Amino acid sequence: MRIIVAGSLTYAGDESTCRDIITGGADHIASSRAEKGCVAYNWSIDPLEPGKIQVYEEWESEEDLLNHFCHDSYLAMRNHLENWDLTGFGVLIYSVAGVEPVYGDDGWPRREVFGVTLGN
């Protein structure tokens, strides 16, 4: 089953603090992306909330995510993030029962998702 990890980390500071964190963590991000089962792995600066980093990860399976938690890249990333003053944390794991495209063949958002159809 596909797994998504998503949420945010908030640090004392502003956008430049977040930029330093992300730039300094680029090797950890790249290493995580190279792990078995990693579909996506990204940190980004929240454009509306200074000091907030949005986190998004996608893994092929629960096992791949659990292996990531034991991988050197994860441990190095945790050590890296401890260099700044964390003031808020909200990252969750989501299991995904199915995956469908957002857009139909016509290029517009679909009117049906997982069997639920938008009424007229």
pLDDT higher than 90, residue 115: no
Contacts of 118 (CB under 8 A, 6+ apart): 111, 112
Q: Look at residue 58 and tell me if it is in a domain.
A: yes
How far apart CA 10 and CA 39 sit, in angstroms, is: 24
pLDDT higher than 70, residue 120: no
pLDDT higher than 70, residue 77: yes
Q: Look at residue 92 and tell me if it is in a domain.
A: yes
| Average pLDDT along the chain | 94
Q: Look at residue 69 and tell me if it is in a domain.
A: yes
Number of Cβ atoms within 10 Å of the Cβ of 119: 4
Q: Choose between 114 and 94: higher pLDDT.
A: 94
Q: Look at residue 41 and tell me if it is in a domain.
A: yes
How far apart CA 60 and CA 2 sit, in angstroms, is: 5
- CATH classification of the domain holding 33: 3.30.70.100
Per DSSP, helices labelled H in 2-103 are 15-24, 26-33, 62-70, 72-81
Question: How much is the average pLDDT of 22-37?
Answer: 97
pLDDT higher than 60, residue 61: yes
How many distinct structural domains can be found in the chain?
1
Q: 0.85 exceeded by the pTM?
A: yes
Q: Which domain holds residue 64?
A: 2-98
Question: How much is the average pLDDT of 75-102?
Answer: 95
Q: Look at residue 120 and tell me if it is in a domain.
A: no
pLDDT band at 118 (very low <50, low <70, confident <90, very high): confident
Which 3 state secondary structure label does DSSP give 40?
A: strand
Sign for the CA dihedral angle at 101, 109, 113, 45 comes to positive
Q: Look at residue 114 and tell me if it is in a domain.
A: no
